[in-house]
Structure 1
């Protein structure tokens, strides 16, 4: 987790929250264990120091700790405004805005609109590629069919039938349809 994001999150804990119980609730909801939180929840320790110490311990835990850090950031970014009891509403609002901005810049928090737009672009690109591949396959099949039609009648009708069946199989695959090839029943 980038230090700029951690620093901004600590500022939110300090300025946008008023009660220590609210800080505890956010951290527990994100996955911080009660044992870890209670280690730093002492009367003389401020919310900023509690959050800094917990972020440090989570960093030392590796991937599992990073996941919890990300959830804490998401929880804090979910706040629309500072708590009503926060002493400095302006500082709390600025801290929230800074956290959201830094988290998006560092790609810790993805803007849902941007993520949706990126997903739509990727889906459209896949769809266009699929259409191009299908058109190329159909062009190849058209040429093969014309060759098949122009073949001599001297070639076995059965052989030409099998070749036509192979073309049907490719055509079905081009349109993502199930195709069941020819088969024989045991008593035939």
Structure 2
């Protein structure tokens, strides 16, 4: 049996077990397979993005290539990746610095990839050049409940331990307080009550 047939058979088994649609089951099955690529610093990916030329990619007949972003062949990631995705990823992870370690969890060339750091996970869409933040749980393709505050999807938040939930609640309260303080400051007010 070829690799492609094995992959499809495994996706069908996941589909039957979970009731997901075939494409979602295929992603879930692929995300559960370990990748053999080592982790790498964000700065190395940025350097590769800055020095590699745009790659010629054969998208097939179904894709109108005038609207596809420019890509480069990444030796680190293991396939073509949009320049814009690397820059968006760098922006999203800028608080952690260029030494933040990343790893490729999943790569489907010319479709999508999942890249994870120790703190966050992102879905990179090759056709649009965009990134979407994903739940922190490896293998999950759902979006987080509240990006940058609650890093897990609803399913995985419900399964967090008490300490993690308390930490998320504190982060949420701190974020809300900063937003309120900023809004009051812009309007010339303050939190202090004057009667």
- TM-score calculated relative to the size of structure 2: 0.24
Q: Whose strand fraction is larger, Structure 1's or Structure 2's?
A: 2
- TM-score calculated relative to the size of structure 1: 0.24
Q: Whose helix fraction is larger, Structure 1's or Structure 2's?
A: 1
| Higher alpha-carbon Rg | 1
Highest relative contact order (Cα 8 Å, sep 6+), 1 or 2?
Answer: 1
